[in-house]
């Protein structure tokens, strides 16, 4: 099979770029820790309200962990618990969320906090809130007729 000289150059260059690219995202993920949310913990979706930490949704200060706060959300059609929360500026926060019914999204608009909530699973993501202001939390995965009304607010405030 004959391959044109220019095509060989083109493909060699392309494959080299691909390797560089995959190395960059691989190093970012597994060396620097920038992995997409992939929590493996499960929960009975019917019993979310009675199980820690979801029996007390909201912000909680924690000690002795890599993060300062845990922010716990319970999603259900078509609302999040809590509906509004204040987070101190600069806080390193572990967001922990799950759903009681169908699949929902959990996206904090204007940030990289974006994850899927699936019944039976817990989703987690660690983020630092380094800009003050009001952030919209919204459901970005179709969940029914009120999907576009499903929201919450995070206020990042100086303390």
Partner 1 sequence: MLKDALKIKVDRRDGKLAMAHFYVAFIALAVGGLAGLLQTLVRSGKFELPAGIGYYQILTVHGVVLGLVLTTFFIMGFQISVVSKTAGTLTNRQRLIGWIGFWVMTTGTVLAAIMILLNEASVLYTFYAPLQAHALYYIGLTLVIVGSWLDGTVIIMKYIEWRKQNPGQASPLITFMALVNTLMWIVATIGVAATVLLQLLPWSLGLVDTVNVAVSRTLFWYFGHPLVYFWLLPAYMAWYVIIPKIIGGKIFSDSLARLSFILFLLFSIPVGIHHQLLEPGIDPAWKFIQVILTFLVVIPSLMTAFSLFATFENYGRSKGAKGLFGWLKKLPWGDARFIVPFIGMLSFIPAGAGGIINASFQMNQVVHNTIWVTGHFHLTAATAVVLTFFGIAYWLIPHLTGRVLTKKMNKLAIIQGVTWTIGMTFMSGAMHAAGLLGAPRRSSYSEYGGSAQAAEWIPYQIAQAVGGSILFIAIILMLYIFVNLAFFAPKGDQEFPIGEPLSNEKPPMVFENWKLWIGITILLILFAYTVPFIDLIQNAPPGSKGYKLW
Name the residues that contact partner 1, by CB under 8 A.
Answer: 1-4, 6-7, 10-11, 14-15, 18, 21-22, 25-26, 28-30, 34-46, 77-78, 101-103, 105, 107, 109-110, 112-123, 134-136, 138-149, 151, 153
DSSP reduced 3-state for 108:
strand
The pair of three-digit structure tokens given for residue 91, joined into one six-digit string? 């806080």
Question: Cβ 44 to Cu ion, closest distance in Å?
Answer: 20
Compare residues 100 and 104 and give the one whose CB is closer to Cu ion: 104
The residue count for the chain: 159
Site stretch for Cu ion (CB under 5 A), options 26-34, 54-62, 83-91, 140-148: 140-148
Q: What is the Cα–Cα distance from 83 to 73, expressed in whole angstroms?
A: 9
DSSP 15-80: HHHHHHHHHHHHHHHHTS--PPP----B--GGGGGGSTTTTS-EEEE-SSSSSSEEEEEEEETTEE
Q: CB-hemisphere CA count at 13 Å for 65?
A: 13
Q: Which of 94, 100, 104, 125 binds Cu ion (CB under 5 A)?
A: 104
Taking the complex as a whole, the smallest distance from the CB of residue 113 to Cu ion amounts, in Å, to 16
> Taking CB under 5 A as the rule, does residue 115 contact Cu ion?
no
Q: Which does 68 bind (CB under 5 to 8 A by kind): partner 1, Cu ion, none?
A: none
Beta carbon nearer to partner 1, 81 or 123: 123
* Of 31, 29, 73, residue with least CA distance to 48: 73
CB 8, min distance to Cu ion, A: 51
Q: Which range, of 6-14, 38-46, 142-150, 151-159, touches Cu ion by CB under 5 A?
A: 142-150
Neighbour tally for 126: CB within 10 Å: 16
Which stretches of the chain bind Cu ion, using CB under 5 A?
104, 139, 143, 150
């Amino acid at each position: 099979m004959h391959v044109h000289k220019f095509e060989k150059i083109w493909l060699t260059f392309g494959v080299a770029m691909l390797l560089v690219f995959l190395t960059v995202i691989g190093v970012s993920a597994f060396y620097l820790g920038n992995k997409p949310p992939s929590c493996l913990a499960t929960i009975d979706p019917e019993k979310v309200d009675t199980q820690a930490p979801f029996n007390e949704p909201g912000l909680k200060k924690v000690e002795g962990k890599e993060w300062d706060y845990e922010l716990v959300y319970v999603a259900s059609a078509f609302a999040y618990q809590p509906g509004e929360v204040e987070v101190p500026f600069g806080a390193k926060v572990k967001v922990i969320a799950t759903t009681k019914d169908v699949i929902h999204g959990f996206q904090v608009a204007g940030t990289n906090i974006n994850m899927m909530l699936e019944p039976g699973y817990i989703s987690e993501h660690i983020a630092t809130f380094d800009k003050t202001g009001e952030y919209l939390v919204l459901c970005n995965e179709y969940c029914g007729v009120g999907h576009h009304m499903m929201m919450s607010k995070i206020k990042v405030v100086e303390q």
